[in-house]
Amino acid sequence: MALKFNPIASQSQKLPSFALPPMASLRSPKFCMVSTLPSGPKEVENLKKPFMPPPKELHFQATHTMPPQKIEMFKSLEDWAKKNILIHLKPVEKCWQPKDFLPDPTSDGFDEQVKELRERAKELPDEYFVVLVGDMITEEALPTYQTMLNTLDGTRDETGASPSPWAVWTRAWTAEENRHTDLLNKYLYLCGRVDMRQIEKTIQYLIGSGMDPGTENSPYLGFIYTTFQERATFISHGNTARLAKQHGDVKLAHLCGSIASDEKRHETAYTKIIEKLFEIDPDGAVMSFADMMRKKISMPAHLMYDGQDDNLFDHYSTVAQRIGVYTAKDYADIVEYLVDRWKVKELTGLSADGREAQDYLCGLPPRIRRLEERAQGRVKQASSVPFSWVYDRQVNL
């Protein structure tokens, strides 16, 4: 899992940028106010600690909003999940491993292989590495994503080694995703083009910051979120593969394409879960889908920080938009794809709230595209900022 952004959120002169989670509804029976804004001398002093990220937004976190009967519904779906979801996992012995794409340290030709990798990397521009590093850092926060999945009522891993199909999926999905970050990290270490210490600091900050995607401990919301993210990540890694090939690095293109293939398989599994929910509870599914879209999908790495740039995530995402790795058009296309895939327009027998959610979702893709067009019209001459990941060299936004 990696980026991506929400094009509706930004009102700046830049192209649409990523969204932070908005204030959640108070409909939840349990909620707490979370603030990382300093309110006194003690809090200000805490911000000086080396593990603290910069202060972020004030918002409410709704928790455990799904009623008990729906928790039981997910437990009743365990046999279905075993037959229909676990089939999208690959046996470990059939999976590629990072070593398959990287110089072999046991080979007599290891030094030459590294030299060739570094020669190919010289042909890639800094803007490409900014996006590749950002993608890798997002993947590195995998502990946060597994934690998020294990907050979901009815599907969490209750023991850490539960035989529940939902828990088996979460652990095996995490294990498959872990290969992505291992591969990208090792490639970037060997290529010699990036400041690994700054990258490693960013990873530590990000994992320490966590994330709140607004899923409220609900697998309805949680699996809609992961469906969207996996499709976005498939697109992103596919485009980094395309750009690497354009710059003549076929091996890096193969590396990124292999990650994209995994993301597509994971997307298929999450999409099927929501498809099943639309079958057995169309009202709940369509309202949850609309809920997540109204929250504007807070992105996994929106708290990214390197110890220097308080707007690092915005800057990284703007570069990704500019070079075509992930764009506002991609965001709108994903929404439209999911509306069609889950046959939202064809739903009947909905409640009044369900029909309102249906109308909102069906009208959302063209609304996003209109906002994108307006944002394009406001774009001014590109500015540049230094990125610590590439030794503070200036990169155009």
Q: Taking the mean position of all CA atoms in its chain, how far away is CA 315?
A: 16
CA atoms within 13 A on the CB side of 157: 19
Q: How far is residue 234 CA from its own chain's centroid?
A: 10
Q: Is 180 noted as a catalytic residue in this protein?
A: yes
Catalytic residue among 139, 157, 216, 330: 139
**275 included as an active-site residue:** no
> Which of 216, 262, 309, 314 is an active site residue?
262
Query: Does the active-site annotation cover 310?
Result: no
CA 341/CA 33 separation, integer angstroms:
36
DSSP string over 146-165: HHHHTTSTTTS-SSSS--SH
Q: Look at strands 30-35 and 58-63 and give their pairing.
A: antiparallel
Q: Is 116 a catalytic residue?
A: no
Q: CA-to-CA distance for 85 and 265, rounded, in angstroms?
A: 10
Which residue matches tokens 């590396």?
A: 255
Tokens representing residue 97 in the block: 């491993």
Place of tokens 């108070």: 26
- Reply yes or no on whether 139 is catalytic: yes
Rounded to whole angstroms, how far apart are CA atoms 186 and 19? 30
Out of 127, 135, 263, 306, the active site residue is 263
Catalytic annotation, pick one of 126, 135, 176, 177: 177
Residue of 266, 267, 306, 309 marked active site: 266
- Token pair listed for 128: 């490409």
Question: Catalytic pick from 36, 57, 80, 96?
Answer: 96
* 348 carries an active-site annotation: no
Q: Which of 227, 233, 271, 318 is catalytic?
A: 233
Look up 389 and say whether it is catalytic. no
Question: Is 265 within 8 Å of 88 (Cβ atoms)?
Answer: yes
User: Annotated catalytic residue: which of 126, 140, 155, 180?
Assistant: 180
Catalytic residue, chosen from 230, 267, 306, 314, is: 230
- Rounded CA-CA distance 79/212 in Å is 30
45 is catalytic: no
Which residues are paired to 395 by β-bridges? 385
DSSP 381: S
Decide: helix, strand or coil at residue 224.
Answer: helix
Could you tell me if residue 154 is left (phi over 0), alpha (psi between -120 and 50 degrees) or otherwise beta? Answer: left
- Distance, CA of 344 to CA of 12 (rounded, Å): 32
Residue 233 is among the residues annotated as catalytic for this protein: yes
Q: What is d(CA 199, CA 214) in angstroms, rounded to the nearest whole number? A: 27
Beta bridge pairs of residue 20: none
Kind of pairing between the strands at 384-387 and 393-396: antiparallel
Active-site residue set: 96, 139, 177, 180, 230, 233, 262-263, 266
